[in-house]
Amino acid sequence: MEQQPSVQSGASGPSAMDPATECGHSPGTVAAPAYDEDLLHKTILVGDSGVGKTSLLVQFDQGKFIPGSFSATVGIGFTNKVVTVDSVKVKLQIWDTAGQERFRSVTHAYYRDAQALLLLYDITSKTSFDNIRAWLTEVHEYALQDVVIMLLGNKSDMSSERVIKQEEGERLAKEYGVPFMETSAKTGVNVELAFLAIAKELKQRAVQQPNEPKFQIHDFIESQKKKSSCCGFM
Ligand SMILES: Nc1nc2c(ncn2[C@@H]2O[C@H](COP(=O)(O)OP(=O)(O)OP(=O)(O)O)[C@@H](O)[C@H]2O)c(=O)[nH]1
């Protein structure tokens, strides 16, 4: 695997190292393992039936929203998507699960080797929000211990039908120590950001050095949100 130019310069051995930068810990010259672009990161969408998992994936993959009658997912399916993070390609294999109870035993089997999990509720459905705790219990039972979890309050465009305040979502996420954002599969708000944050976290984990500070997904999301509100980034 080819190293990124910035990494190569730092990895070229002590003789090539500028003594000033050696002491100064310039981020551009610190030797870091190259990210393997062949890695495929399994990511799963879970949550009650009708919260918008399929729609979120379609919006992310194809940049469109298909309005109309709701047709529940049967079983499980996946879409491969490449996200560019810090100039490297991060491959996500995104699994869309059926939210209906009768498919639960099928979907549990897919939790086992998932590296990331997007847990959705619908801001217009109190039941879907209340069920998040049960979903998290399942996740803790079946998924890897260090799975990256993100909570998403979807359908943020439906403000007149909202029953769950944004602060309630934030509070719940804080309680479980997971990042949170509201999304709209219809307008696309925060959809790309959600997957980008996941991809960045997974990429950072893959190249993480033991003594390096960990990637702060919460801070990244907040900074990107600020960027988008000031400069129309997303
Ligand atoms: N207004 C609005 N409608 C949405 C949004 N996301 C999904 N929907 C609608 O909600 C309904 C359910 O969406 P799906 O994406 O099929 O839900 P799901 O979570 O995949 O459902 P299951 O496959 O049964 O688990 C559909 O009618 C969508 O058009 C959104 O962000 N805004």
In this predicted structure, what is the pLDDT of residue 30? 56
In this predicted structure, what is the pLDDT of residue 106? 78
> Mean pLDDT across the chain, nearest whole number?
85
In this predicted structure, what is the pLDDT of residue 202? 96
Q: Which atom of ligand 1 is nearest to the CA of 51?
A: 19
Q: Which residue has the tokens 């909570």?
A: 151
Q: Which is more confidently placed, 27 or 50?
A: 50
**What distance in angstroms lies between residue 205's CA and the mean position of ligand 1's atoms?**
31
> Predicted confidence band at 226 (pLDDT cuts at 50, 70, 90)?
confident
Contact assessment for residue 143 and residue 111, using Cβ atoms and an 8 Å cutoff: yes
**What distance in angstroms lies between residue 148's CA and the mean position of ligand 1's atoms?**
23
> Predicted confidence band at 229 (pLDDT cuts at 50, 70, 90)?
confident
Predicted ipTM beyond 0.95: yes
**pTM higher than 0.95, yes or no?**
no
In this predicted structure, what is the pLDDT of residue 40? 94
Does 187 have pLDDT greater than 90?
A: yes
* Residue 52 Cβ contacting ligand 1 at under 6 Å: yes
> Predicted confidence band at 33 (pLDDT cuts at 50, 70, 90)?
confident
Q: Which is more confidently placed, 70 or 40?
A: 40
The predicted-structure confidence for 41-75, as pLDDT tens digits, reads as follows 999 999 999 999 999 999 999 999 988 767 888 87
**What distance in angstroms lies between residue 195's CA and the mean position of ligand 1's atoms?**
18
* Residue 158 Cβ contacting ligand 1 at under 6 Å: yes
Query: Which residues fall within 8 angstroms of residue 57, CB to CB, at 6 or more apart?
Result: 45, 79, 94, 96
DSSP 212: S
In sequence order, the β-bridge partners of residue 116 are: 43, 148
**What distance in angstroms lies between residue 109's CA and the mean position of ligand 1's atoms?**
23
Mean pLDDT value of segment 158-185: 97
Percentage, residues of the chain above pLDDT 90: 60
Helices (H) and strands (E) in the chain, counts: 9, 6
Percentage, residues of the chain above pLDDT 70: 84
In this predicted structure, what is the pLDDT of residue 234? 47
The pick from 70, 118, 135 for probing ligand 1's pocket by mutation, whose C-beta has the most ligand atoms within 8 angstroms, reads 70
**What distance in angstroms lies between residue 146's CA and the mean position of ligand 1's atoms?**
28
Could you give the CA distance from residue 66 to residue 231 in angstroms, rounded to a whole number? 27
The pick from 44, 45, 48, 54 for probing ligand 1's pocket by mutation, whose C-beta has the most ligand atoms within 8 angstroms, reads 54
Does 16 have pLDDT greater than 90?
A: no
Q: Which atom of ligand 1 is nearest to the CA of 99?
A: 25
* Residue 51 Cβ contacting ligand 1 at under 6 Å: yes
> Predicted confidence band at 21 (pLDDT cuts at 50, 70, 90)?
very low
**What distance in angstroms lies between residue 55's CA and the mean position of ligand 1's atoms?**
5
Contact assessment for residue 140 and residue 112, using Cβ atoms and an 8 Å cutoff: no
